[in-house]
Amino acid sequence: MAESGDRPSYSCGNCRNPLAFHSDLLSKAFKAKSGQAYMFSHVMNVVLGQKEDRQLITGKYTIAGIFCSNCRQELGWKYVRAFDPAQRYKEGNFIVEKLKLAKEY
């Protein structure tokens, strides 16, 4: 497979700091303020912001903002906890706004 190499597929659109592998991508069907967003099971080179409870379209969550560890651009958020049991599969996953990402190949 062409995409099974060790190089990360996604990076920060601002500074090209590597953020995630293609295999970490779970879904492209998410929405954020800026439009389309991707859900990843794991991201690297990010720093977490303060946890906060937020009401989103699909329910209430505890989330933490995620920021590029290099340029500090806000990238999206991590689902820390879902109040609705039906949304628990999102816990521990990361949402990154497509607008903030660069695709490496």
Contact residues toward Zn ion (CB under 5 A) are 12, 14-15, 17, 68, 70-71, 73
What's the min distance (Å) between Cβ of 101 and Zn ion? 10
Q: Which residue lies nearer to Zn ion by CB, 56 or 102?
A: 102
Q: Which residue lies nearer to Zn ion by CB, 15 or 56?
A: 15
What's the min distance (Å) between Cβ of 2 and Zn ion? 26
Query: At 45, is the secondary structure helix, strand, or coil?
Result: coil
Given the structure tokens 């859900």, which residue do they identify? 39
Q: Which residue lies nearer to Zn ion by CB, 19 or 39?
A: 19
Query: At 42, is the secondary structure helix, strand, or coil?
Result: coil
How many other C-beta atoms can be found within 10 angstroms of the C-beta atom of residue 76? 26
What's the min distance (Å) between Cβ of 45 and Zn ion? 8
Query: At 35, is the secondary structure helix, strand, or coil?
Result: strand
How many other C-beta atoms can be found within 10 angstroms of the C-beta atom of residue 105? 9
